[in-house]
Structure 1
């Protein structure tokens, strides 16, 4: 995860947007191919796919667009409001509680207070390091482990991670769909052991492979 400059990282992010959307969708088992994603993002409808797959690709495209605007206008922040906004877009077709922590929505529970406390602790941990790369890794691992939302947790964590990196002149980390099993194994290890080492190493390896 080598440093670049914000403008170069920003330019590569915009150029690679279809690939970022496609890989994120494929990690969820989406059936769209990269050429079909490019076609859909150009405004042309692509047939032959479940409606849910098309909705997911469109939501990812809109969420990445929202992230682009937040970073571009200097409005990206590592806070609940930003995360909620991205999740609201990503999960709007998947859960009525999109954009709200578990327990804040239709089924209100005390667990929402615990999740808000965990998010505050995550912010404190991130503030303890000046290295944006470590901040991004900590964020993704913690958010994926905690599962703040009823849906689209990995996608939301990935976009927030991308925002942290782009805002500090680092390229977005792409997890290739071909490495989905590795990601799932690293996530399983994190959940069962509370050890994020494997997942962090995996994300760094994905970044190194891009370079």
Structure 2
């Protein structure tokens, strides 16, 4: 069984509600993150898609719905943008694609660099770039909500990343994927926030999703 398969086979966490204070919540979260990241190198992961390299970017066309939307076009546009970002970070190589006459097509050939291979892992059928270990510092907020399935406990926690934080992981270029820092500043992984939701049934809480490494991107 591969490391990534072990990571994503983590059983959904449950624990008794009675006496569930912040320290217990923090412990449950930390145990989940550590169980999904036994090497301490896959705490934060960025999706790069279910691709075989070398890969050539391309255009996707199709009919738009009444709102001018086509999910296949959007997914391809997001992928092409993400590939460009990772090439700028040195994780992928990028070479202009040309047609039979040697003229640029506007698309690019991509391949993993040695740097990219160092931080490449797998999440199911998708490749991801990962680093570090998540460490939960504190529970900062808890609130009870109501859903169609019953009461829900929403938890906000503060965490930091320990272990190796590669230079590419601090680059503000990653803000093109998700906003991590303001004013084009380097990304600070020493003070971050996350969320986890739990369904409440009788005297127990059930995590709505496995407590695992953060996978950023679709």
Q: TM-score, normalised by structure 2?
A: 0.27
Larger radius of gyration: 2
- With structure 1 as the length reference, what TM-score do the two structures score? 0.27
Which structure shows the bigger proportion of residues in strand conformation?
A: 2
Structure with greater helix share of residues: 1
Q: Which has the higher relative contact order, 1 or 2, with Cα contacts under 8 A spaced 6 or more apart?
A: 2
